[in-house]
Structure 1
Amino acid sequence: MKHIKAMAIKFVATIVVLFVILNVIFGMSFTNVFFISLVLSVVSYLVGDIGILSRTNNTVATIADFGLSLIVIWFLSAALTFENRTPLFIISLISAAAIALVEIVFHKYVSSYTFENESEDFLPKHRYYYSNHYQTEASKEIAPDIEKNKENK
């Protein structure tokens, strides 16, 4: 249930940002903005939030979401035959930058409320091996006892 709520929040934030940029500023139809927002929200949540944010930090996940948003918006804008005097790459770049700013705040929400009490079955097992907490092996002996080893042979 936490993931459905988080994905709904992400969709609403994405559609608001993309509506202002793509519809109001650049004149894209609302149907196209809705479709791009829906695809971007689902893909970005699965890849960026569950896949990357759960294993790394906010900065890495935001950079990944920026790249993913740029590619998805650029591809879908071209596929939906969006015509404007401004090149599609510039429109996609502006939209992805705005989405990345929203993602900074959204990642804090997801980290605090969604991944807070997840079971170990949901989070990958190898996540904990990247924690940089190393332990050395220690023993009572400082140097090997050569005389004792000769007697055992």
Structure 2
Amino acid sequence: MDHLKTLGIKFIVTGIAVYSLFGILFNTTLINLFFISLLVTGISYLIGDLYILRRFNTFIAIIADYVLAFLSLWILGSLFLTQAGLPILALSAMAAFFITLCEPFIHTYIKENFSSDEGRNIQVRKDLQTEFSEELDGNSAGKKQKRNDE
């Protein structure tokens, strides 16, 4: 369920960037923009968040997310939209920048909700007991024994 929530947040961020930049400048259908947003979200989540973020730190994952978003927006924009060339390249760079601005928040959410021990198969015993005893030093141990003997 947490994966779907994370994908939803990521899709909203990507969708806003794609609809705002690509939708204004290109005369295209909302279905094309929806598929571009959906594919960019899926690629970025699978490669950037599930693979790179778990193996490296957040900074490297953010750089990788920018590169993934830029390349996927550029390629998908060239495939789905009729006009190819420099405007799609520039818009892909701007949209990837705006998507990347939200990535630290998404990475924080992922780190808080997905334990790093998930893939390690660590078993925790929950039936442990605590042992209680009185603290004894050398002098008090002998005195207590003498008192008990009397």
TM-score normalised over the length of structure 1: 0.70
Deviation at 1:86, TM superposition (A): 5.4
Residue in 1 that maps onto 2:99: 99
- State how far apart, in whole Å, the 1-side matches of 2:29 and 2:99 are: 19
Contact 1:77 1:88 in 2 (8 A): yes
Residue in 1 that maps onto 2:44: 44
1:115–1:82 distance in 2 versus 1, CA, 3 Å: farther
Contact 2:54 2:116 in 1 (8 A): no
Unaligned runs of 5+ in 2: 122-150
Contact 1:53 1:61 in 2 (8 A): yes
Residue in 2 that maps onto 1:24: 24
1:78–1:118 distance in 2 versus 1, CA, 3 Å: same
1:18-71 Cα deviation digits (max 9, x unpaired): 211221355543222111110011111110000000111111001001000111
1:92-142 Cα deviation digits (max 9, x unpaired): 111111111111221111111233663524xxxxxxxxxxxxxxxxxxxxx
Residue in 2 that maps onto 1:66: 66
- State how far apart, in whole Å, the 2-side matches of 1:25 and 1:115 are: 42
Q: Which has the larger radius of gyration?
A: 2
1:72–1:30 distance in 2 versus 1, CA, 3 Å: same
- State how far apart, in whole Å, the 1-side matches of 2:84 and 2:78 are: 11
Contact 1:26 1:84 in 2 (8 A): no
Matched to 1:30, the amino acid is L
Residue in 1 that maps onto 2:136: none
Q: How many pairs are equivalent? A: 121
TM-score normalised over the length of structure 2: 0.71
> Which has the higher mean CA deviation after the structures are superposed, 107-116 or 38-47?
107-116
Contact 1:10 1:106 in 2 (8 A): yes
Contact 1:7 1:45 in 2 (8 A): yes
CA RMSD in angstroms, aligned pairs only: 2.1
Within 5 Å, give how 1:56-135 maps onto structure 2: 56-83=56-83, 87-115=87-115, 118-121=118-121
